[in-house]
Structure 1
Amino acid sequence: MESWLRDSGVVGLDDLKLADFPATGRGLGSLRHFKEGERILTVPSGILWTVEHAYADSIIGPVLQSMQRALSVDDTLAIYILFVRSRESGYNGLRRHVEALPTSYSSSIFFTDDELEACAGSSLYTITKQLKQQIQDDYRTLVEGLFAEHLDIFPLGKFTIEDYKWALCTVWSRAMDFAQPDGKSIRLLAPFADMLNHSPDVKQCHAYDASSGDLYILAGKDYEPGDQVFINYGSIPNNRLLRLYGFVVPNNPNDNYDLVLMTQPGAPFFEQKRKLWVSAGLDSVSTISLSLNDPLPKSVLRYLRVQRADESDLAIITLQQIDATDKIISISNEVEVLQALIESFRELLHNFGTQIEKLDEQLAEGIYPPGTNAWSAAHVSLGEQRVLRLARQRAEDLLAALEGRNRVDSGFSAPVRCANCAKVAVELMLCGRCKAVRYCGRTCQVAHYKEHKALCQATAPKSGSVKK
């Protein structure tokens, strides 16, 4: 492979070597001193794997172009890789790159059910289950709509579902993405450069030159001879690292949980609420990332304030022309939002197959040996549960502060709630007869009257008292 890389114009081969490292496995090592920012490697455009290169191939190109609306970028690249691997002649350089690729991957779609159980309840668990089914469906579509129509190009014995999964993981784990000046993005695989492993401790140091089409690797920090050379994939949580790249970073500071917020179109005042969401940069279905640094983003509260708004809350927004997404609409609305969040977080945490304390014990006792699939899955579960616990605590703190403020504002020793709907509000109307209960409005008072009638008559002040 090295001679082909030299002949292809790759610059920097004499300063790097393939080596096995204890923690990361196969990677690239430095043969000399590098200063941070110094160019380490240049991979020319001609040997990059891109969709455009696949389209330019004289054999497979026309077929792929005819299907470009039906094929994703990942599918196109995966099929191109399998095509090159299947050829018995020609494509000598590209085949050498394919031969140097790993024969198997450890991303979560290859986990057994038992291994995946270590992160039961996590988003990775759900996504992996869905992804496995999606891959089967996509493969069936490819066989029926593409492979079977061109068996001379796609011999089914070399394009099995296992081959397809392997090629997809090759793309997911080794491709690089770059934004271009025209606003479009490009996804590519770069021979030799794809052997660089990830480290969060180096600066992002890979760059794409849109004018030449070449890929550059710079030193993300100072290196000495013998050091492993890294690139930085970005701030990626463990659930995504394991799904796409097949590894995790213990105690990953970038761990997150993607919270999906959804409102059905049939909900009351949906169109009015949808406009409010759009004005806040959201939509009726919004996925918001909770993180260790920001476990309860403002956008979650913005969404739910609108979702939980009743007719009177919406009237307040219209009357006062306030930005309902940025501030409390009413005490009752905010309490309902926070109570719903707390309950949701409790339910999400309850659904994890193994709670965080037990997982910590199991990892410490070696029940999940380091580096195994189950060990990686357990670390994903730990990270997501930590984020959700922080989010729940944040919501509980906000609710406690709100109810404390309400007690001070109202002069009552406990939160003032509507006797009918239990909403909390600073201003509630007293029952005019008994003066013993409060309501948030006339509607609640009427709705509660049958239940309240007996108490009201018993406690109401007696009329007709004799004046002294």
Structure 2
Amino acid sequence: MESWLTKSGAVGLGDLELAEFPVTGRGVKTLRRFSQGERILTIPSDVLWSVERAYGDSLLGPALRSSLPPLSVEDILAIYILFVRSRESGYDGLRTHVSALPSSYSSSIFFSEEELEVCAGTSLYTITKQLEQRIEDDYRELADRVLAQHPDIFPLDMFTIEDYKWALCTVWSRSMDFTLPDGSSIRTLAPFADMLNHSSDVKQCHAYDVKSGDLSILAGKDYEIGDQVYIYYGPIPNNRLLRLYGFVIPGNPNDSYDLVLTTHPEAPLYEQKQKLWVSAGLDSTTTISLTLTDPLPMNILRYLRIQRADVSGLAALALQQIDGTDEKISDSNEVEILRFVEEAIGSLLDGFAISLERLEEQLAEGVYPVGGNAWAAAHRKRKQIPVRTREMCKLRQGFRAADVMWEV
């Protein structure tokens, strides 16, 4: 891949090389010193993967455009990767990049049932289960709308659901997102740059040039010869890191608990409530991060006030021209959601099948092989048990106090 990129005009590859590192595995190593802010690497626009490039392909583009409604960005990129991988000739540069991608990932959707059960009771467990179901549903729709309509382009034996999951994880873990000056965004995969690992010790250090379309990597800190080069993904909690990237950071300061609120489409008054959720910046399935500094985000009340509204409550919203999110709809609505949340949080707290003390013992005894999926899941649960317990207890106490206030 290095020789191909060099021929394509990538800058800086002579100063870098791929290497194996003890903890992170494969990454990028420096061959000279770099000062913070110095340009390390530039990937030219003509080798970047993007939606625009996929649509511009003479074979793939028409098949993608035939889908109505249009496919999501991640589905387009996932299909693009599988399409290139399935071609026996042509696409030499892109095929070189695909061949350098990992053959498997350690994201939580690839955990065995036993491995996933290690983190039962955590938000990672719940969201992974939901994500697995969503992927199955999306794949069936994608197969019907696109893949089956163009069997000459998409041989089904190379576009199975397992292939689709692999391609999705490639997009989730290796793509980069940039906001453009006009407010739109672009997601791209950059050969070689996607080999860089994450560290919270470096500053934001990748940039997209709107005029040239090139992607550049800058030194996020000073580097000595032989150091691993890192980029910064952002302040991401371990549950998201493990779900999308397949690793955890011990002692991650950004850890949180993701509370998932959902409403079935067949629930009463669903369509009216969905419009209200959208107007409040929410959805029928909304994930809200709880932290020790903000154990009761306002979005919890915004969501539940709408979800628990009856016909008269919805009529009141229309009459009063309020969105029912920042203001109380009625005393009865407020008491109902407060009691519901107290019961729900109590149930969540009871969901941990193992105590923190026992989990610490298992980790110390080497029950889970270091670096494996179960080990990562155990560390995720180890971090979340005390955090989640404190968050939930604070929430439960707060709701109990509010409940008493309303009853008085």
TM-score by length of 1: 0.75
Aligned identity (percent) is: 65
SS at match of 2:10: coil
Alignment map for 1:231-242 (pairs within 5 Å): 231-242=231-242
Are the structure 2 counterparts of residues 112 and 329 from structure 1 closer, same or farther at C-alpha, using a change threshold of 3 Å?
closer
1:420-456 superposed Cα distances (whole Å, 9 cap, x missing partner):
xxx642xxxxxxxxxxxxxxxxxxxxxxxxxxxxxxx
Aligned-pair CA distance for 1:87 = 1.7
The whole-number CA distance in structure 2 between the counterparts of 1:387 and 1:256 is 7
Question: What residue number does 1:215 align with?
Answer: 215
The whole-number CA distance in structure 1 between the counterparts of 2:283 and 2:379 is 32
Alignment map for 1:42-61 (pairs within 5 Å): 42-61=42-61
SS at match of 1:296: coil
Are the structure 2 counterparts of residues 338 and 133 from structure 1 closer, same or farther at C-alpha, using a change threshold of 3 Å?
closer
1:25-60 superposed Cα distances (whole Å, 9 cap, x missing partner):
000011111111111111111000001111111222
Q: Gaps spanning 5+ residues in structure 2: where? A: none
- Which structure has the greater CA radius of gyration? 1
1:374-400 superposed Cα distances (whole Å, 9 cap, x missing partner):
111122323443333222332355468
Question: What residue number does 1:461 align with?
Answer: none
SS at match of 1:119: coil
Alignment map for 1:165-180 (pairs within 5 Å): 165-180=165-180
The whole-number CA distance in structure 2 between the counterparts of 1:109 and 1:184 is 30
Question: What residue number does 1:40 align with?
Answer: 40
Is 1:31 aligned to residue 20 of structure 2?
no
Are the structure 2 counterparts of residues 359 and 91 from structure 1 closer, same or farther at C-alpha, using a change threshold of 3 Å?
same
Question: What residue number does 2:72 align with?
Answer: 72
SS at match of 1:26: strand
SS at match of 2:349: helix
Question: What residue number does 2:136 align with?
Answer: 136
Q: Gaps spanning 5+ residues in structure 1: where? A: 404-414, 417-422, 426-468
Question: What residue number does 2:93 align with?
Answer: 93
SS at match of 1:181: coil
The whole-number CA distance in structure 1 between the counterparts of 2:80 and 2:42 is 23
The whole-number CA distance in structure 2 between the counterparts of 1:343 and 1:256 is 21
SS at match of 1:40: strand
Aligned-pair CA distance for 1:299 = 4.2
CA RMSD in angstroms, aligned pairs only? 3.8
Contact in 2 for aligned 1:180/1:210 (Cα 8 Å): yes
The whole-number CA distance in structure 2 between the counterparts of 1:334 and 1:152 is 57
Contact in 1 for aligned 2:38/2:218 (Cα 8 Å): yes
Aligned-pair CA distance for 1:113 = 0.6
Aligned-pair CA distance for 1:71 = 2.1
Are the structure 2 counterparts of residues 392 and 44 from structure 1 closer, same or farther at C-alpha, using a change threshold of 3 Å?
same
Supply the AA of the counterpart residue of 1:223.
Y
Alignment map for 1:308-457 (pairs within 5 Å): 340-395=340-395, 398=398, 424-425=407-408
Question: What residue number does 1:193 align with?
Answer: 193
Count of aligned pairs between the two proteins: 406
Supply the AA of the counterpart residue of 2:167.
A
Aligned-pair CA distance for 1:240 = 1.3
Aligned-pair CA distance for 1:70 = 4.2
Q: Which moved more, 1:138-147 or 1:113-122?
A: 138-147
Supply the AA of the counterpart residue of 1:28.
V
SS at match of 1:182: coil
1:247-303 superposed Cα distances (whole Å, 9 cap, x missing partner):
111232212222244689759xx98x9999899766787542212432223443566
SS at match of 1:351: coil
Aligned-pair CA distance for 1:230 = 0.4
Contact in 2 for aligned 1:338/1:398 (Cα 8 Å): no
Question: What residue number does 2:107 align with?
Answer: 107
Contact in 1 for aligned 2:123/2:259 (Cα 8 Å): no
Contact in 1 for aligned 2:349/2:392 (Cα 8 Å): no
SS at match of 1:149: coil
The whole-number CA distance in structure 1 between the counterparts of 2:49 and 2:153 is 19
The whole-number CA distance in structure 2 between the counterparts of 1:275 and 1:132 is 27
Q: Which moved more, 1:111-120 or 1:346-355?
A: 346-355
Contact in 2 for aligned 1:256/1:384 (Cα 8 Å): yes
SS at match of 1:376: helix
Question: What residue number does 2:11 align with?
Answer: 11
The whole-number CA distance in structure 2 between the counterparts of 1:260 and 1:123 is 8
The whole-number CA distance in structure 1 between the counterparts of 2:278 and 2:85 is 47
The whole-number CA distance in structure 2 between the counterparts of 1:382 and 1:227 is 31
The whole-number CA distance in structure 1 between the counterparts of 2:262 and 2:150 is 43
The whole-number CA distance in structure 1 between the counterparts of 2:280 and 2:58 is 49
Aligned-pair CA distance for 1:333 = 9.0
Supply the AA of the counterpart residue of 2:369.
P
Aligned-pair CA distance for 1:183 = 1.6
Question: What residue number does 1:434 align with?
Answer: none
Q: Which moved more, 1:246-255 or 1:92-101?
A: 246-255
Question: What residue number does 1:465 align with?
Answer: none
The whole-number CA distance in structure 1 between the counterparts of 2:214 and 2:344 is 48
Aligned-pair CA distance for 1:185 = 1.3
SS at match of 1:52: helix
Are the structure 2 counterparts of residues 185 and 395 from structure 1 closer, same or farther at C-alpha, using a change threshold of 3 Å?
same
Q: Which moved more, 1:229-238 or 1:83-92?
A: 83-92
Aligned-pair CA distance for 1:4 = 0.9
Contact in 2 for aligned 1:262/1:285 (Cα 8 Å): yes
Alignment map for 1:262-273 (pairs within 5 Å): none
The whole-number CA distance in structure 2 between the counterparts of 1:163 and 1:183 is 33
Is 1:145 aligned to residue 145 of structure 2?
yes
Supply the AA of the counterpart residue of 2:234.
G
Aligned-pair CA distance for 1:349 = 1.7
SS at match of 2:32: coil
Contact in 1 for aligned 2:203/2:220 (Cα 8 Å): yes
1:228-253 superposed Cα distances (whole Å, 9 cap, x missing partner):
11001111111111111111112322
Is 1:122 aligned to residue 118 of structure 2?
no
SS at match of 1:4: helix
Are the structure 2 counterparts of residues 262 and 50 from structure 1 closer, same or farther at C-alpha, using a change threshold of 3 Å?
closer
The whole-number CA distance in structure 1 between the counterparts of 2:220 and 2:398 is 41
Aligned-pair CA distance for 1:162 = 2.5
Supply the AA of the counterpart residue of 1:12.
G
SS at match of 1:233: coil
